[in-house]
Chain A
Amino acid sequence: DGGITQSPKYLFRKEGQNVTLSCEQNLNHDAMYWYRQDPGQGLRLIYYSQIVNDFQKGDIAEGYSVSREKKESFPLTVTSAQKNPTAFYLCASSIGVAQPQHFGDGTRLSIL
């Protein structure tokens, strides 16, 4: 079955540490996205990529970095510069620009 796989489901970060969240899709979608969700709130866009080897900042990109070396993969690194990283992180993909997005099951990041 086609879908989006995020791993790990739970992740813990120590102070000053970078961590990387994985997102893989086998839907053959060109566009991929990373969102952050805080308790009781909607989604905020961190980064998005419309094609391989290209990505753009979203609304809250500071303290995060991404790469898009393969169509199927769009990993997100939460750097030590992100001072409040505790949140639920969601990856999504779509066929193209402004098309319906399909989501993974999320990664919950906490600080030790």
Chain B
Amino acid sequence: GEDVEQSLFLSVREGDSSVINCTYTDSSSTYLYWYKQEPGAGLQLLTYIFSNMDMKQDQRLTVLLNKKDKHLSLRIADTQTGDSAIYFCAESNRESSASKIIFGSGTRLSIRP
């Protein structure tokens, strides 16, 4: 079945860029998402990209999609302490009869001073 994988942890110095990577298996993915979860809270939709796009930029966030390698990345420029959270990569397939999003296990981003 479909799968989404991401590394569990990332530590970055404050002010540097963070790059969180994700791989997925569904070659028919329609949307690819990045969600942010702060402690004790729900998931916040940060950004998403259509599978026919290569890149999407939104302020400090840049999403890159390599469809050939089924690789998605999220770059956070000028990382701040408020960016500490768990980041989930996810994908959905509009052609699938099941209306579900497949989530990765999340990457915990910690910020060092």
Contact assessment for A100 and B33 in the assembled complex, using a CB-CB cutoff below 8 Å:
yes
Contact assessment for B88 and A103 in the assembled complex, using a CB-CB cutoff below 8 Å:
no
Q: How far is the CB of B46 from chain A (nearest CB, A)?
A: 11
A31 within 8 A of B: yes
Contact assessment for A98 and B94 in the assembled complex, using a CB-CB cutoff below 8 Å:
yes
In whole angstroms, how far apart are the Cα atoms of A68 and B101 in the complex? Answer: 20
Summed over the interface, the residue pairs from A and B with CB atoms below 8 Å come to a total of 58
Contact assessment for B105 and A103 in the assembled complex, using a CB-CB cutoff below 8 Å:
no
Contact assessment for A98 and B106 in the assembled complex, using a CB-CB cutoff below 8 Å:
no
Instruction: Pick from B36-44, B54-62, B64-72, B76-84 the stretch touching chain A.
Output: B36-44
Q: How far is the CB of A83 from chain B (nearest CB, A)?
A: 23
Chain A contact patch, size range: 20 to 34
Contact assessment for A101 and B101 in the assembled complex, using a CB-CB cutoff below 8 Å:
yes
Which chain B residue has the least Cβ–Cβ distance from A96?
B99
In whole angstroms, how far apart are the Cα atoms of A100 and B104 in the complex? Answer: 15
A47-88 near B? 1/0 per residue, CB < 8 Å: 010100000101000000000000000000000000000000
Among A45, A92, A100, the residue within 8 A (CB) of B31 is A100
A18-61 near B? 1/0 per residue, CB < 8 Å: 00000000000001010000001111010010100000101000
Among B31, B33, B105, the residue within 8 A (CB) of A42 is B105
B92 within 8 A of A: yes
Which chain A residue has the least Cβ–Cβ distance from B106?
A42
Contact assessment for A31 and B99 in the assembled complex, using a CB-CB cutoff below 8 Å:
yes
Q: Which residues of A84-112 are within 8 A (CB) of B?
A: 90, 92, 94, 96-106, 108
A residues lining the B interface (CB < 8 Å): 4, 6, 31, 33, 40-43, 45, 48, 50, 56, 58, 90, 92, 94, 96-106, 108
Closest 10 CB pairs of A and B: A103-B42, A97-B99, A98-B92, A42-B105, A103-B43, A42-B103, A98-B94, A105-B42, A43-B103, A106-B42
11 pairs of residues in contact across A and B, judged by CB atoms under 8 Å: A41-B106, A42-B88, A43-B88, A45-B100, A48-B99, A90-B42, A97-B99, A98-B99, A103-B42, A106-B40, A108-B40
